[in-house]
Amino acid sequence: MQTLANFGYGGGPGPWILLFPVIWVLAVGGGIALLRRTVWRGRRGDPWRQPAAGNDSPIAVLGHRFASGEIDEDEYWRRLSVLNEEFGRKPGAA
């Protein structure tokens, strides 16, 4: 603390020496942030990415076809009832 006590008298480096630890903390923190955004993200996947398997289910494909107008409402409900029997919820499941 003797160094800081001589501030303004030319006897020491002054309080600006406290700037060096701040620069090191920012450099290390920036490096960690950069690694988290690039390298480490590939291991656990992107949290905003939609799962591909959920969009490829037959019920989802049927819903997309109905929404785009490829099939009419009667055909949609007929096919949906068949798909629910095979891919939908099991009877008695909550």
State pTM to two decimals: 0.37
Using the predicted structure, report yes or no on whether residue 32 has a pLDDT greater than 90.
Answer: yes
Q: Provide the mean pLDDT of the chain.
A: 77
Q: How far apart are CA 64 and CA 52, in angstroms?
A: 15
Using the predicted structure, report yes or no on whether residue 48 has a pLDDT greater than 90.
Answer: no
pLDDT band at 94 (very low <50, low <70, confident <90, very high): very low
Return the HEC string of the chain: CHHHHCCCCCCCCCHHHHHHHHHHHHHHHHHHHHHHHCCCHHHHCCCCCCCHHHHCCHHHHHHHHHHHCCCCHHHHHHHHHHHHHHCCCCCCCC
pLDDT band at 92 (very low <50, low <70, confident <90, very high): low
